[in-house]
């Protein structure tokens, strides 16, 4: 994770840093297959790609009741040793990118969480599926829809689940807004606004490399506004228009977008206006407007605490690290067949990639693009 992005998101999480670990989430790092207190099976997870975000996931998982780290995959031997010692992962459960297919023979692994650069997700998830393990993949799931479909198909063929790391789809204040909308408390939804952006730092990082990232801000931070529009409105868009602005072609080279404004249209008449950027700060806001009320979330996508208000007052669900909730909920999806309030399966991720591709086409042509997501 880039330094600037880390600062952007960590500023949103300052109050969470001092939050004590909740005792009810305590779990020891043992080989036990059953969670203490609940007597439900624990999801045994291999983390792939031991970078900045994986560190946040790993730390948050120490508070999970139903998920634990049992294996590591990295191309850096020193990280495997450091993380292995820190999280009590034995040497035989530490893999590199060349030999991780051997996870098929490791009964202490149920799922692999792929947290690597975007362009690597496709091949790595397919290898995970062929090894007979469930796959959790960071967003965006792939750099194009063709790859995304192949990932979905590979997991289906192998009989394993593919979940995408959409942590906001488990966040309590977000789900409260979804509940209110589902219950008709906002009336017919008319408008959504999603602002997502920060000033990116190091120009040599992989997020500014088209071969690794597949694009620019839209792939990284803009996808939150795309996905957010879908779960806040409660519908999928049927058309998109978009405009790209680039003020620094040296830093943001060909194929790496700096700033994109895009508009989404929904079959129920709702419209969405969204902004994705790597060159403006203080952009982390969702706004939903209906005939009877509204919901505003700011911050809406940072690591928390997420804050919001509606026409009926403030949203006040207590903050728990998003990755803690996400991994416990994903354990329920994988091990119990639990149906989440908001789906996070590979098809949801594939639909976001289709929208991203349409946005890029709209920028290139200046024309409205019709969407066919199913």
pLDDT of residue 14: 39
Percent of the chain with pLDDT strictly greater than 90: 89
Whether pLDDT at 18 is above 60: no
Return all residues near 70 (Cβ < 8 A) that are at least 6 apart: 31, 44, 45, 46, 89, 93, 108, 109
177 and 159 fall within a common domain: no
Sign of dihedral through CA atoms 92, 93, 98, 99? positive
How many Å apart are CA 45 and CA 137, to the nearest integer?
Answer: 12
* Domain annotation covers residue 336: no
Residue 278 belongs to some domain of the structure: yes
The domain tally of the chain equals 2
d(CA 308, CA 199): 24
Which strand ranges, in their side-by-side order, compose the sheet holding 279-290?
A: 313-315, 308-310, 294-297, 279-290, 189-199, 271-277, 259-266, 237-245, 369-370
CA quadruple 91, 55, 143, 325: dihedral positive or negative?
positive
Tokens representing 70 are 């049992």
- Whether the per-residue pLDDT at 2 is higher than 80: the answer is no
Specify whether 303 is catalytic.
no
Q: pLDDT of 125-154, one tens digit each?
A: 999 999 999 999 999 999 999 999 999 999
- Judged by phi (left if over 0) then psi (alpha if -120 to 50, else beta), residue 88 lies in left
Q: Is-catalytic flag, 139?
A: yes
Query: What Cα–Cα distance (Å) separates residue 57 from each residue in 51, 148, 280?
Result: 10, 23, 26
Which residues form the domain of 89? Answer: 3-167
Q: With contact defined as beta carbons under 8 Å apart, do 348 and 166 qualify?
A: yes
Query: Does residue 332 form part of some domain?
Result: no
Q: Is residue 323 part of a domain?
A: no
On whether the pTM is more than 0.75, the answer is: yes
- Average pLDDT score over the chain: 92
Closest CA relative to residue 185, chosen from 317, 289, 266, 285? 289
What DSSP line would sit under 190-235, residue for residue?
A: EEEEEEEEEE---TTSGGG-HHHHSSSHIIIIIHHHHHHHHHHHTS
User: Would strands 94-95 and 294-297 be described as parallel, antiparallel, or unpaired?
Assistant: unpaired
CA distance 53 to 184: 36
Encode pLDDT of 102-119 as tens digits.
999 999 999 999 999 999
- pLDDT of residue 12 exceeding 80: no
Catalytic residue chosen out of the listed positions 68, 139, 307, 354: 139
Residues 83 and 157 in one domain: yes
Q: Which of 53, 95, 113, 224 is catalytic?
A: 224
Residues 154 and 28 in one domain: yes
28 and 74 together in one domain: yes
The verdict on 160 and 200 lying in the same domain is no
Show which of 146, 167, 188 is a domain's final residue: 167
């Amino acid at each position: 994770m880039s330094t600037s992005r880390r600062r952007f998101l960590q500023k949103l999480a300052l109050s969470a840093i001092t939050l004590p670990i909740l005792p009810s989430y305590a779990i020891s790092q043992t080989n036990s297959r059953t969670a203490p207190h609940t007597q439900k099976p624990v999801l045994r997870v291999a983390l792939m790609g031991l970078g900045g975000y994986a560190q946040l996931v790993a730390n948050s998982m120490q508070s999970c009741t139903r998920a634990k780290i049992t294996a590591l995959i990295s191309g850096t031997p020193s990280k495997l040793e450091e993380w292995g010692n820190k999280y009590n992962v034995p040497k035989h459960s530490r893999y590199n990118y060349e030999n991780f297919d051997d996870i098929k023979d490791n009964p202490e692994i149920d799922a692999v969480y792929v947290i690597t650069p975007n362009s690597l997700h496709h091949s790595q998830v397919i290898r995970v599926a062929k090894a007979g393990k469930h796959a959790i993949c960071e967003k965006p799931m792939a750099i194009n829809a063709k790859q995304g479909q192949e990932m979905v198909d590979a997991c289906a063929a192998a009989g394993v689940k593919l979940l995408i790391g959409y942590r906001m789809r488990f966040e309590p204040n977000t789900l409260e807004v979804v509940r209110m909308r589902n219950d008709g408390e906002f009336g017919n939804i008319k408008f959504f606004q999603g602002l997502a952006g920060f000033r990116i730092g190091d120009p040599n990082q992989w997020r500014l490399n088209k071969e690794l990232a597949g694009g620019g801000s839209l792939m990284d931070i803009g996808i939150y506004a795309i996905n957010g529009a879908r779960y806040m409105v409660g519908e999928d868009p049927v058309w998109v228009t978009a405009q790209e602005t680039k003020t620094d072609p040296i830093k943001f080279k060909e194929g790496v977008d700096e700033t994109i404004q895009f508009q989404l249209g929904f079959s129920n008449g709702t419209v969405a206006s969204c902004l994705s950027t790597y060159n403006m700060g203080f952009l982390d806001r969702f706004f939903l407007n209906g005939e009877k009320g509204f919901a505003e979330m700011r911050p809406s996508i940072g690591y928390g605490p997420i804050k919001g208000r509606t026409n009926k007052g403030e949203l006040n669900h207590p903050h728990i690290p998003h990755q803690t909730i996400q991994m416990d909920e994903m354990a329920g999806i994988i091990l119990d067949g639990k149906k989440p309030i908001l789906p996070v399966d590979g098809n949801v991720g594939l639909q976001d990639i289709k929208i991203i591709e349409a946005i890029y086409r709209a920028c290139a042509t200046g024309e409205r693009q019709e969407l066919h997501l199913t």
